[in-house]
Structure 1
Amino acid sequence: MTVVDTLGRPVRDLRISVTDRCNFRCTYCMPKSVFGRDYRFMPRRELLTFEEIERVARTFVTFGLRKIRLTGGEPLLRADIEVLVGMLARIDGLELTLTTNGALLSRMASALRDAGLDRVTVSLDSLDEDTFRAMNDVDFPVARVLEGIDDAAAAGLPVKVNAVVRRGVNDGGIVDLARHFRGSGHTMRFIEYMDVGATNGWRLDDVVPAAEIVRRIDEVFPLEPVEPAYTGEVARRWRYRDGAGEIGVIASVTQPFCGGCTRARVSAEGKLYTCLFAVGGTDLRALLRSGAGDGELAAAIAAVWAVRTDRYSERRTEATAALPKVEMSYIGG
Structure 2
Amino acid sequence: MPWLPKANLLTLDELLRIVAVAVDAGVTEVRLTGGEPLLRPDIVAIVGGIAALEGPQGHPEVSMTTNGIGLRTTAGALAEAGLTRVNISLDTLRPDRFKQLSRRDRFDDTLAGIAASQAAGMTPLKLNTVLMRGINDDEPIDLLRYALDLGAELRFIEQMPLDAGHTWTREGMITADEIQAAVERSFDLTPLPGRGAAPAERFEVRLKGRTRPPSASARWASSRR
Q: TM-score, normalised by structure 2?
A: 0.88
Change over 3 Å in CA distance of 1:178–1:123 after alignment to 2: same
- Aligned match for 1:180, one of 121, 146, 149: 146
After superposition, give the CA deviation of every residue in 1:197-227 in whole Å (9 maximum; x if it has no partner).
Answer: 4236111111111111122112101111111
Alignment of 1:145-224 (within 5 A): 145-158=110-123, 159-199=125-165, 201-224=167-190
**Which residue identity lines up with residue 208 of structure 1 in the other structure?**
I
Long gaps (5+) in structure 2: 207-211
CA contact 1:228–1:236 (8 Å) conserved in 2 = no
User: How many residues get paired?
Assistant: 213
Residue 209 of structure 2: aligned partner: none
Structure 1 residue runs of 5 or longer lacking an equivalent are 1-38, 257-333
CA distance in 2, matches of 1:198, 1:247: 32
Q: Does 1:249 align with 2:196?
A: no
The answer to whether structure 1 residue 237 and structure 2 residue 202 are counterparts is yes
Aligned residue type for 1:138: R
> Identity of counterpart residues, as a percentage?
36
> Which residue of the partner structure matches residue 40 of structure 2?
78
Query: Does 1:117 pair with 2:79?
Result: no
- Cross-structure match for 2:6: 44
Q: How big is the shift at 1:76?
A: 0.8
How far the C-alpha of 1:66 sits from its partner, in A, is 2.3
State TM-score, norm by structure 1.
Answer: 0.61
Secondary structure at 2:140 match in 1: helix
TM-superposition CA deviations, 1:126-167 (whole Å, max 9, x none): 0022221111022332x2211110111011111211011111
Distance 1:175 1:198, change over 3 A: same
CA-based RMSD: 1.6
Give the conservation status (yes or no) of the 8 Å contact 2:51–2:59: no
**Maintained 8 Å contact 2:98/2:104:** no
Q: Secondary structure at the match of 1:171?
A: coil
Alignment of 1:1-333 (within 5 A): 39-91=1-53, 92-141=58-107, 143-158=108-123, 159-199=125-165, 201-228=167-194, 231-241=196-206, 242-244=212-214, 245-251=217-223, 255-256=224-225
SS of residue matched to 2:64: strand
Contact 1:123 1:161 in 2 (8 A): yes
Name the aligned partner's letter for residue 233 of structure 1. Answer: A
